[in-house]
A and B are shown apart, each in its own frame.
Chain A
Amino acid sequence: MFNRFINLQWKSFFRSSSFGKGLALKILMLFFGIYMLVFLVGAGIGLYFGLRKLFPSENPMWMLSQFLVYWVLVELFFRYFMQKLPVMDIKPLLNLPIKKSSIAHYILGRSGLSGYNLIAPFLFVPFAIVLIAHDYPILNVLIWLLGIFGIVLSINYVNFIVNKSDKALGIIGGLILTLYGLDYFGVLEVREFFGPIFHGLYQYPITAIIPIAIALIAYYLNYRFLKRQIFLDASLKTKSKEAKTSELAWTRRFGDMGPFLQLDLRLIWRNKRTKAQVFISLLFVFYGLIFYTQEMYANSMPMLAFLGIFMTGIFLSNFGQFIPAWDSSYYSMIMSQNIPLRKYLESKASLISVSVIVMFMLTIPYVYFGWKALAINFASAIYNLGVNIPVILYFGSFNKKRIELDKSPFGNMQGTSANQFLIMLPVLGLPIILFSLLSYFVSLEVALIALSLLGVIGFALKNPLLDRITEQYRKKKYGMIAGFKEKNN
């Protein structure tokens, strides 16, 4: 039986849609994967030396132990969002002659091998090797490592128990903030308190049993719960949220464009992935803080131009690059309906324009770092409005990959093709290069004027440009309809 499960798992992995992706994307993902692994291993090795350097008088192991409590809490916090028990996968097994206990073991055991559990080993195994190389007692280090695995698995299974209520998330989040706050203001020596506990895993190897025991108990609790829940109407039921109807009557003021604007707003607010885009975009306002504050970047023109284009255009690129794939699940309806394609595109353009303006307003406080920042962001916003919006809409006509709106936004590559990488060249690269060259060879003022002027010209030509783009969408229509129908991409 177990072999069969493993076989199933193997097939589901290698036949999954992510493996069916285009070669270019596959290679890119592979590189990204390797990069992550190398990064983790490097961090694991560097951890020892880093801690040595930062705290020369302290033992790295002791310092690490002091921070482990935060690792545990933060990982729990993130896993709450990222990792769910994939209960839906067992639906096809239900009507087969398989014992419920085997199904429960299968799904829980499988989660033990999930990618999230690999992060810690890739970090701590190299760290342990460095420790051994520095003449730490081998047995203690190895058993400490075992304890760490125990903690990882405990996090894994505790997460599934915790995952059932939203309150737990608040509690964990609150706990992290409180502990860190207490620690930071020296009210309570949190690290001093938890340090010895985690250090104990190393000092007294026998204590490694504790995390392993916790993992086993958590596993058992999950098992007992799950076994009782393997029914279609219990845990396997997909929860549906109660619909909130919204009138959005104000969109009427936009005339013919109104219905589409209404649809786009609902699209964004009612689907996880699009909603996440909005929040991500808003977060990127703070991106400037990283660079404006550093002397090295604050006076580099390419960097400033990048920040301007990027911050004011983050929603433009995040949302815009997937137009019209957002509407892919009902694109054939849109195409057979009595729809003026032009209005459809205009509505998207207006939505993005609003986002550019909002993002620009949010970046105004950066004037604190000098008028240059403000001026560049302003010119960038104009450029984004006039040039980048038509550009991104035009490139959208090459999108042929379906996006399933109700899929989780995390690590979701649906709809991504080589197109998405190509778009970034003209959208980000062109203005940055132009701006940098002009400001370097002529002057900052000229560069600012050139960027704004291009934007204004683009704005003036908006109508003919949109006509041209509409024509392009019309031409590509059949390919898009066929592409959007393919579910596995």
Chain B
Amino acid sequence: MITTHNLTKKYGSQLVLNIDHLEIPKGQSFGLVGNNGAGKTTFFSLLLDLIQPTSGHIENNGFQVNTSEDWKPITSSFIDESFLIGYLTPEEYFYFIGDLRGRNKADVDKLLSNFDDFFHGEILSQRKYLRDLSKGNQKKAGIVASFIGNPEVVILDEPFANLDPTTQIRLKAIIKDLAAKEGVTVLVSSHDLLHVTEVCERIVVLNKGEIVKDIQTSQETLKELETFFAG
């Protein structure tokens, strides 16, 4: 589904990302871990064509990301609060995203009804604009918005940060379901080793822009990661 070719990103003379080859098959739940500055967000930004690669390119479903725009209908993402439109209510935001992805109000409402648990009564019909919601609730809205319109690739940057424990557990179930039942390729980055090992079939560790580990998740993975990061 997603293939990178000799991808590098430099700022000045500093190499911040250097991924020779990475292939993420369809329907995989893929986890990206690494310390601050490892290049996780840079990779996601490249994947969404928000920054230009210094060399190489990424293909998403066969479309080269930085030249074609045909990957956009099948890809959705939530990177940070800058993906939210502060002066809309959550509902209006969901409908807007729905409009962009060819889903009418009824479709969106139907999808949202699946997330009642996840929202915990704090998102819908609150008579509040997104800018006035708490960080955690903003995040919930952004994450759910990225599920609108049956995307084939979902990219979530640090989805667990700022969420309360109950929501974290629910989110883990949602992500697992997406990948397992609906064949969606889910890309998740996190600082929380426990969460990623629980959710992702495969974990890639980035360090200073390079892939240093590429693990199929198993019982020992958490231990392995902890030893790596403790080192």
A338 near B82 (CB under 8 angstroms)? no
Contacts of A303 on B, CB cut-off 8 Å?
Answer: none
| Whole-angstrom CA separation of A481 from B46 in the bound complex | 12
B73 near A338 (CB under 8 angstroms)? yes
Cβ of B88 < 8 Å from any Cβ of A? yes
| Whole-angstrom CA separation of A275 from B127 in the bound complex | 20
CB distance from B77 to the nearest CB of A (A): 6
| Whole-angstrom CA separation of A339 from B73 in the bound complex | 9
Cβ of B85 < 8 Å from any Cβ of A? yes
Which of B52, B75, B97, B129 is packed against the most chain A CB atoms within 10 Å? B129
B83 near A332 (CB under 8 angstroms)? yes
Q: Which of A248-296 contact B (CB under 8 A)?
A: 258-259, 262-263, 266-267, 270-271
Partner of A337, one of B72, B87, B127: B72
| Whole-angstrom CA separation of A485 from B72 in the bound complex | 21
B51 near A482 (CB under 8 angstroms)? yes
B72 near A240 (CB under 8 angstroms)? no
Contacts of B48 on A, CB cut-off 8 Å?
Answer: 332, 335-336
B92 near A245 (CB under 8 angstroms)? yes
B82 near A329 (CB under 8 angstroms)? yes
CB distance from A452 to the nearest CB of B (A): 37
A330 near B82 (CB under 8 angstroms)? yes
Q: Which of A284-334 contact B (CB under 8 A)?
A: 329-333
Contacts of A270 on B, CB cut-off 8 Å?
Answer: 87, 129
CB distance from B149 to the nearest CB of A (A): 8
Cβ of B84 < 8 Å from any Cβ of A? yes
Size range of the interface on A?
20 to 34
A338 near B101 (CB under 8 angstroms)? yes
A243 near B128 (CB under 8 angstroms)? yes
A242 near B100 (CB under 8 angstroms)? no
Cβ of B86 < 8 Å from any Cβ of A? yes
| Whole-angstrom CA separation of A86 from B104 in the bound complex | 44
A267 near B100 (CB under 8 angstroms)? no
B72 near A405 (CB under 8 angstroms)? no
Contacts of A242 on B, CB cut-off 8 Å?
Answer: 127-128
B82 near A478 (CB under 8 angstroms)? no
Cβ of B198 < 8 Å from any Cβ of A? no
Decide yes or no: A243 and B96 within 8 Å by CB, A330-B82, A332-B79, A485-B82 being known contacts: no
| Whole-angstrom CA separation of A338 from B145 in the bound complex | 13
Cβ of B29 < 8 Å from any Cβ of A? no
Cβ of A406 < 8 Å from any Cβ of B? yes
Q: Is the interface of A mostly helix, strand, loop or mixed?
A: helix
Cβ of B161 < 8 Å from any Cβ of A? no
Size range of the interface on B?
20 to 34
Cβ of B131 < 8 Å from any Cβ of A? yes
Contacts of A240 on B, CB cut-off 8 Å?
Answer: 128-129, 131-132
Cβ of B89 < 8 Å from any Cβ of A? yes
Q: Is the interface of B mostly helix, strand, loop or mixed?
A: loop
B87 near A336 (CB under 8 angstroms)? no
CB distance from B40 to the nearest CB of A (A): 16
A478 near B87 (CB under 8 angstroms)? no
Cβ of B49 < 8 Å from any Cβ of A? yes
B100 near A337 (CB under 8 angstroms)? yes
A245 near B84 (CB under 8 angstroms)? no
B85 near A263 (CB under 8 angstroms)? yes
Cβ of B152 < 8 Å from any Cβ of A? no
| Whole-angstrom CA separation of A270 from B89 in the bound complex | 11
Partner of B50, one of A243, A263, A338, A481: A481
Decide yes or no: A332 and B50 within 8 Å by CB, A242-B127, A338-B100 being known contacts: yes
CB distance from A305 to the nearest CB of B (A): 37
Contacts of B129 on A, CB cut-off 8 Å?
Answer: 240-241, 243, 270
The residue on B at minimum CB distance from A246 is: B92
CB distance from A473 to the nearest CB of B (A): 13
B89 near A243 (CB under 8 angstroms)? yes
Cβ of B158 < 8 Å from any Cβ of A? no
B72 near A336 (CB under 8 angstroms)? yes
CB distance from A251 to the nearest CB of B (A): 10
Task: Give the 3 A-B CB pairs with smallest separation, nearest first.
Answer: A240-B132, A259-B99, A333-B83
5 more CB-based (< 8 A) A-B contacts, given A262-B96, A266-B92, A405-B86: A240-B129, A240-B132, A333-B85, A336-B49, A336-B75
For this complex, 26 residue pairs linking A to B, each with C-beta atoms less than 8 Å apart, are A240-B128, A241-B129, A241-B132, A242-B127, A243-B127, A243-B132, A244-B127, A245-B127, A259-B99, A262-B96, A266-B92, A270-B87, A329-B86, A330-B84, A331-B82, A332-B48, A332-B50, A333-B84, A336-B48, A338-B73, A339-B72, A339-B100, A406-B86, A406-B131, A481-B50, A481-B51
Interface residues of A (CB under 8 A from B): 240-245, 258-259, 262-263, 266-267, 270-271, 329-333, 335-339, 405-406, 478, 481-482, 485
